[in-house]
Amino acid sequence: LQALKRKPDLFLCSNLDVKAVFQCGVLSLKFPEALTVKASCGFFTELLPRCGEIAPVGQVVHENGKALLQAVLEGIGGQASRSLMDHFAEILFALNKHCFSLLSVW
């Protein structure tokens, strides 16, 4: 998360598998540890605003965003602790703000 905040062009590295990083983040949303879930939510709230400016990120979100939305809705639906709801809501807000056309399709 800190690396993404300080150096968002990290996702432009040719040897970085953006899809793998994205999928790890989605899996982390389902972990039982609140700190892990909170960090993963923070990662997505920093990542999603960059969909339009960093092409590899936009492509991965376009192709795999439905899995992110499903994980968020499962967390809100009872899989995650109630203390994490604000963090999941931030992801939904970022999806709505930065990926609205995709969100309506998913």
Question: Distance between CA atoms of 15 and 8, rounded to whole angstroms?
Answer: 15
Contact (CB, 8 A) for 51 and 57: yes
How high is the pLDDT of residue 13?
Answer: 66
How high is the pLDDT of residue 18?
Answer: 87
> What does the block give as tokens for 13?
């590295």
How high is the pLDDT of residue 1?
Answer: 52
Could you read off the pLDDT of 26-47 as tens digits, one per residue? 999 999 999 999 999 999 999 9
Q: Spell out the SS3 assignment of the chain.
A: CHHHHHCHHHHHCCCCCHHHHHHHHHHHCCCCCHHHHHHHHHHHHHHHHHCCCCHHHHHHHHHHHHHHHHHHHHHHHHHCCHHHHHHHHHHHHHHHHHCHHHHHHC
Counting as low any pLDDT under 50, the low residues of the chain are none
How high is the pLDDT of residue 73?
Answer: 96
How high is the pLDDT of residue 2?
Answer: 59
How high is the pLDDT of residue 52?
Answer: 87
